[in-house]
Structure formats: C-alpha cells, structure tokens
Amino acid sequence: MQSEATRSFAKFIWAEPAMLELHEINSYYQDSLILRAVSLRVPANVRIALVGRNGAGKTTLLKSIINAGPRVEGRIMWDGAELGKTPTHQRARQGLCLVPEDRRILGHLTVFENLRMAATGARLRADVIDPETILHQFPPLVPIRNRKAGVLSGGQQQILAIARACLSRPRLLLLDEPTEGLAPVIVEALVNDVLNICKTTGCSLLLCEQNLWFSRRCTTELRVIDSGSIVFAGTWAEFDRSPDIQKKHLTI
C-alpha cells in the first residue's frame, strides 16, 4: 500500500502541465552522478521550497535548470517547450532568474552600479524596472547606494542580490540558500522581502534552503531531496503529518 508521502508525490508529478517541468533528469559533474531521475514541476504563481541536507543536490538542481554547470540528461520543459541545450543567458531572458548562494556581487562597483548592470540582462527591454525604483523598494539599500558592494555585510549583499534579480521581472525566481551566514534578525526581514517580490512581480519561487523556519514562511509547498533524489512532495501540512520524512531525510 502506498504511503501518504508517496501518494502526495504522485499527485504533484502527474498534475496538469506547469510553467517549469523536469522529467527524470540526471545531472553529472564529470562522471559523478549528483541528481538521480529527478522529476519536478513548478506552476505559475506558486512558491515551492526544496529542502535537504548539505550535499543533497539542491544547488545542482538549480544549476541544472539554468544550465550553469552540470551535464544534464532528461527533459527540462519551460512553457511547454524543451530547453535542451539553450544557453544560460537565453534562459534568463525567458524569465528564469538564479540568485546563487555566493551572490556573485560585483564588489568593485557600487550598489547602484550593480543594479544598473543588471538591467542589461532583462528578458525584454520594455520589462526592465528602473534601478532607482528597485532601490527604493529595498529601503536598506538607499543609504548605501554609493558604497562599493565588496565592503557590504553578508545581509546587505544578499538584499542587493535579490534586488538585482528583480530588475528583469523574473517569471521564476531560483533562490539558493539565501539565509546562509546571516544573523537571525536579517533572516526575519528577508522573509518579507521575498514575499514582497513574489507579490509585486507575480513571479513563482523555487527556494533551496536548509532553514525550515524560513522556508515555511516563504512558501506553501515543499520538496525534500536526499542523495540526489526527491523523496517527498506536498504541502507543509502534509509534511507535518509525516514526521518520519524529517527524521530520515533532514535530521543530521
């Protein structure tokens, strides 16, 4: 007999076509298999957390979606069309936007110059949000607009990385470990920033995180990944009714 977790997983896999769909993908770094037959779907206007231990495959999954490193076997569909070998910059211009774990801030430029640079990567020129407008949507950045980004705190750099991503009006925001190394008070404030982005831009969210508190507040659904495989898919309420999932796949 199928467990509730298994039935939940099947429900999410076999639903109607979504904005993003991964079908049985395997991802490799050289000859090392990292992701194993991963299937995942992200509908429009949905916020999903991908949670798992360090090394479970979360970052590799995001990089596979955006074509930023791993060799991928299987099908990645975007708006019903297979992405195949579509390069990273073209995926970004179609509305996929990755905020990487290391943020990739241009440290020799100021905060405002980082925002201006991001405008060149917009998927449609008419869709670009004015950098000045974005700056004021993230009030902590206003007093430091002329400061070199390389001297910012970790929390300030994370806010800048997210603000930079918003300039191109992403349809799907891929957010990788945004709370890593941040103080609890910054993490709490970041919840509102993430939710506000999704509300004002209408984008979906795929959040990779280890922090369950943060993930729960930013999303309505989750997928649990362990050893490169999705082992649970469902809502947070369904997750709460499956304590064995957390004990087996998340507890260190």
Give the residue with greater pLDDT, 84 vs 121. 84
4-249 CATH fold:
Rossmann fold (3.40.50)
pLDDT in tens, 40-65: 999 999 999 999 999 999 999 999 99
pLDDT band at residue 12 using 50, 70 and 90 as cut-offs: very low
Please state, for a pLDDT cut of 70, what percent of the chain lies above it: 89
pLDDT at 8 (0 to 100): 47
pLDDT at 104 (0 to 100): 87
Q: Could you please report the per-residue DSSP string of 99-143? A: E-TT----TTSBHHHHHHHHGGG-SSGGGPPPHHHHHHHSGGGGG
Give the residue with greater pLDDT, 201 vs 187. 187
The Cα 106–Cα 143 span in angstroms is 18
Per-residue pLDDT averaged across 166-186, rounded? 89
Task: Name the helix (H) or strand (E) containing 63.
Answer: helix 58-66
Tokens of 151: 């001297």
Average pLDDT over the chain reads 88
pLDDT in tens, 86-121: 999 889 888 899 999 888 898 899 999 999 888 765
pLDDT of 151 > 50? The answer is yes
Per-residue pLDDT averaged across 29-39, rounded? 95
The model's pTM is: 0.87
The Cα 193–Cα 71 span in angstroms is 33
pLDDT at 191 (0 to 100): 93
pLDDT of 233 > 90? The answer is yes
Task: Name the helix (H) or strand (E) containing 169.
Answer: none
- The structural domains of the chain, with segments of one domain joined by +, span 4-249
pLDDT band at residue 200 using 50, 70 and 90 as cut-offs: confident
Helices (H), 151-234: 154-166, 184-201, 212-218
